[in-house]
Amino acid sequence: MPGSLPVNQNIEILENGKTVRDVIDSKIKELDSAPFFVANLDCVLKAHLRWTKNLPRVKPFYAVKCNDTPTVVSMLSALGTGFDCASKGEIQLALSLGVTPDKIIYANPTKPSYHIKYAASQGVDTMTFDNEEELLKISSFHAQAKLVLRIAVDHSKSLKKLNLKFGATLSSAGKLLERAAQLGLQVIGVSFHVGCLCTDSLTFKRAIADSRHVFDMAKSLGFKMSLLDIGGGFSGTDCFVNFDEFSEVINESLDEFFPSESGVRIIAEPGRYFVESAFTLAVNVIAKRTVMNETEDSDNTESGPDRTMEYYINDGVFGSLSSVLNFPEVKIEPYLHRVKRDLKYKSVIWGPTCDSLDKVLENYWIPELRVGDWLLMDNAGAYTLSICKVPLNANLILTQLLEQMLKFDKLRTPLQDGMNPKTSHRSLTTPFLAFFIK
C-alpha cells in the first residue's frame, strides 16, 4: 500500500512525555560505540505543510538521492508527494514502497541504456534529457517516453553549480527540440536547476523566464507542452536563504510567465528541504591526543589556549560526513551529548580512516572530550545516509496520534483536509516520528 512503513521496522510509541532526546539517551546506553542517526519526522511533516502553504501551485517531487531511507520515502508518499529518481535503484526503491509510476520523474539527463529499458518496463515514462545522444538512446529503448528538456540557467549565486555538468544552453535548445521531432519523440516540458543552496531568489525568476522562451519554441514545433520542473536546491534550514522570500519570487514569476489558466503543471525536486533538519547524527570519540602549542607563553600547561586537542571519531568524510568535502560552506557544529566540563580547547576532529583528508573540523573550540564520549550533530539528514551505504537497523518511535495516522489510508495533513495550517497545531506540537539508524 502506498506509504506503508517497511515491514522490518520496529515501532515504539512516544508517550508519557518521552522526547527525541530521550531516544538518543537510550540508544547510547543500548548500543556499543557505533555511530547512529535519530530522525524526528515531525520536521518532515512541518516542511511539507510549509511547502504546501507557500508554494500551492508547485507539487514537490522529493529527490530520493538526498536521503533514500525507506521510512522517509514512505511518509512522503503518504503525504502525496511525487519522486525525483536519478537511477534504476531509486526507481526500484520507490516502486517497492508502493509509489505509482506516474508519481516518478526520471530526472537524470544522462542515463545508462539498461536503466532506460527498466524505466520503460515499469511504466516510468517521464524523464529528462539535455543532449542528442540521450534522445537517440531514448528513441531506441523507450520511444513512448514523455520527455522534459533540461536547460542550463544562471547558477552563479549557488554554492554548488550543477549546470557545469547538466543542462542544454538556450542556443542549443531549438536544435534538440527539432531532433526530438524528427525522431518522433514526445517532449512535454522543461526543467532547470539553479544549483544547490542558491542565495539569490531572482535567479528563479530568470530561469522561469528562460523556460517560457523554450516553451514557446517547442510549441512552434508542434509539441504540446504541459510541465515545468523548477528543480531543487532549497535549503532545509533558513541559515542560508529565507524560504518565504524565495517562495514569493517563485509565485510571482509563475503568475507572470505560466499563469494558472495556462494549464501547465508545475513541479519541483526538493531534497535537502525535507530531510536536512530531521536527522541528528551521534558519533563516538574513539581516540584522542594532546598537541602542546609551541608559544612563548606556553609555561602554563593547564591553560586551554596553550594546547590543541585532536579527537578521532567513528564516522568521517568518507562516510556520513562527506558534506565536509562536497559542501564546505555548510558548517558542521558538533556538540557534547552531556556537557561535563567548562574550559574549552581549540580542537581538531578527525574521521576514523588513515587518510589525512578525513578531517571533519579544525580550529573548533569545545570542552575537553574523553574517549568514549558522544558528539551530536544536528541537520544531518541531507546527503549522509544515501552516500554512506551500510546495512540499516531502524527503530521507529512515534506518538499515539501518529499510531493511528500511520494506517496510511487515513494519513492526511491539515491542508489536505481543508484545515488552516495557522490554527491547526495539534499535529505540529509534539514529535511526529523518530527512529534510529546505525
Catalytic residues: 354
- The residue type of 86 is A
Segments of 41-134 assigned E as strands: 58-63, 82-85, 104-106, 126-129
Are residues 221 and 229 in contact, defined by beta-carbon separation less than 8 angstroms? Answer: no
Return d(Cα 418, Cα 427) in angstroms, integer. 14
- Grid cell 508542434 in the structure block, residue: 222
Fill in the amino acid letter for 395.
N
Cβ count within 10 A of residue 49: 19
What's the angle, vertex CA 78, arms to CA 72 and CA 80, rounded to 5? 105
Rounded CA separation 194/200 (Å): 10
- A 10 A CB-CB count for 161 gives 16
Q: Are strands 186-191 and 146-150 parallel, antiparallel or unpaired?
A: parallel
Radius of gyration of the chain (CA): 24
**Looking at this protein, which amino acid is placed at residue 24?**
I
CB 244 within 8 A of CB 201: no
